[in-house]
Structure 1
Amino acid sequence: MKEIEILIPEDFAVEEASVFREKLNKLIDRGERHFILNFKNCTFVDSTGLGVLVGIYKRSKEVNGSLQFSSVVAPKVIKIFKLTRLDKVFGIE
C-alpha cells in the first residue's frame, strides 16, 4: 500500500482548503487511495477546512482508501477537532 504524505498549510482556511480539495480529488482520480495528512505546520483550521477534510475522508472511503493524520500538535487545531468530535472520526489522539 503506497501512501502519499501531504503537508497541510499553516492557515487551513477558505483559499487553502479549496486548493487542497482540488489537489486531493485529482490524486484520487488518478488512482491514489492512501494519504497521510501532516499537520506539523498547521496552526489554524476553519469550518471550510473541516468541511474539506470530511469530504476527502468520505471520498477516500468510497474508493477503499485511507486518510491518516500526523503531527496534529497545535492546541487550536486539536481543540477544534475535539469540539467537533472529529478527533474520533479521524483517530486523532
Structure 2
Amino acid sequence: MKNITIPENFSVEEASEYRKKLNELIENGEKDFTLDFSNCTFIDSTGLGVLVGVYKKCNELNGNFVVQSITNPQVLKIFKLTRLDKVFNIAK
C-alpha cells in the first residue's frame, strides 16, 4: 500500500504534479494507495479529477484506493457535495 500525502492546497498546480506522480507509480505496478488528507485545507475540481482518474485505474487493476484523515470540514463537504464520499473508501 503506497501512502501519499495530499498537499494543503490540492488545486491546479499541485494536482497535475500528483497526476503525473500517481500515474508513474501505477505504470510501475503499484495499485494500492492510501491518500492522507490530514494537511489538506482546499481541493478544487482539478484535484477531484485526479482522484477519480487514479481511483478508476486502481479499480481496473483490482487495487485499493483509500482516502483517509479528512480533517478539514470544507474538504469533507466537497466530497459529500460531489457524492464522492459514496464512491471512495473514506477512512477516519
1:64 positional shift: 1.3
Give unpaired runs (5+ residues) of structure 2. Answer: none
Task: Report % sequence identity.
Answer: 62
Find the aligned partners of 1:24 and 1:45 in 2 and give their Cα distance: 17
TM-score (norm 2): 0.95
Measured after TM superposition, the shift of residue 71 of structure 1 is: 0.4
CA offsets 1:42-90 (integer angstroms, 9 cap, x no match): 0000000011100110011111111101101101100000001100101
Map residues 14-93 of structure 1 onto 2, 5 A cutoff: 14-92=12-90
Helix, strand or coil at the partner of 2:38 = coil
5+ residue gaps, structure 1, are none
1:70, 1:92 → 2: CA distance? 6
Partner of 1:12: 10
2:65–2:89 Cα contact (<8 Å) kept:
no
Return the offset for 1:92. Answer: 2.8
Q: Compute the RMSD of aligned alpha carbons.
A: 0.9
